[in-house]
Structure 1
Amino acid sequence: MTTVEWLSRARSLDSEITALLTAQRRAFERVLNVTGRLREIVVKGGLRQDPMERYLELEETINERINELLEVKQEILAAIRNIDRQEYRVLLIDRYVNGYTWEKVAQHMHYSTKHVLSEMHPAALDAAQRVLEEESRRAG
């Protein structure tokens, strides 16, 4: 796994959670549209399950993914914390933890997007790679 892939895990999980939350909202709207009391419906295998129970299962799945996201972000932040240069830490946190666009990262840092992408990002990735390699050596 490359450094970018390792750092991007939080952004990927965040996108997945956003999609799941959209699905949850739509499912809740459907549950509310059930007329009368919530009726049991037949699902595969002949099992009977209340629509609200299925909705709550979806909520549990989302909560599990959110917990995983928090763990990944903590892991990423722990590595970033060991980077010496403060500008690189800000850049990596803004992009890979906060999920900012490159334009927003550059604006926040008061640099041009071109400078952030061509100069700072590669240097920040190199710094992160050194930290990850050092952590790997210590752990292994």
Structure 2
Amino acid sequence: MTPKEYLKQAYRLDKRIDQELLKLEELKALAKCTQTVSYEERILSGTKQREPHFVRVLEKVWRQEEKINQQVDKFVDLKEQMSIMIDELENVDHNLVLSYRYVHGWTWEEIARVLHADRSTILRWHSKALSLVHLPEEPILI
């Protein structure tokens, strides 16, 4: 794995968490839906579920929240490991470019504006920083 591939993981994991949050919102909306009540006599067989629909949906909500929490924990650990790796760079410009780009998710234009440099200079610093940075001994992989 190259340093660039490693650093791009945070963006992908962030987008995956966003997707899981959308699923969670859909489940929560489903849990709020009312189900019609039938007053007819029901014959319960071994194949029918005895729990109300909303209870099953709430269990799915809980499982989805657990999944999201695990991904968020991994995301935080990954960003911390990335920050430590980036902080090892001696050149401040290289350090800032990688940090703004991969830890904070800024665009090239935002980085150029803050560092008062043109986009080509930022890209040159980025390329140089990637050649100097070293992956952690045990990188977090997603």
* TM-score bracket relative to the smaller structure: 0.7 to 0.9
Runs of 4+ in 1 over 3 A off after TM superposition: 34-37, 45-49
Q: Does residue 92 of structure 1 match 2:98?
A: yes
The higher-RCO structure (CA 8 Å, 6+ apart) is 2
Q: How does 1:58-137 map to 2 (within 5 A)?
A: 58-117=64-123, 119-128=124-133, 131-132=134-135, 136=137
SS at match of 1:34: coil
**Inter-CA distance 36–73: structure 2 relative to 1 (3 Å threshold):** farther
Partner-residue secondary structure (3-state), 1:50: helix
Q: TM-score, normalised by structure 2?
A: 0.77
Per-residue deviation, 1:92: 0.7
Structure 1 residue 97 displacement after superposition: 0.9
Q: 1:115: Cα distance to partner?
A: 2.0
Deviation at 1:34, TM superposition (A): 3.2
Q: Do the aligned partners of residues 84 and 36 (structure 1) sit closer, same or farther apart at CA in structure 2, a change above 3 Å counting?
A: farther
Q: Percent identity?
A: 25
Unaligned runs of 5+ in 1: 38-44
Which one has the largest radius of gyration? Answer: 2
How many pairs are equivalent?
Answer: 124
Q: In 2, Cα distance between the equivalents of 1:122 and 1:65? A: 29
Structure number with higher helix proportion: 1
The answer to whether the 8 Å contact 2:79/2:103 transfers is yes
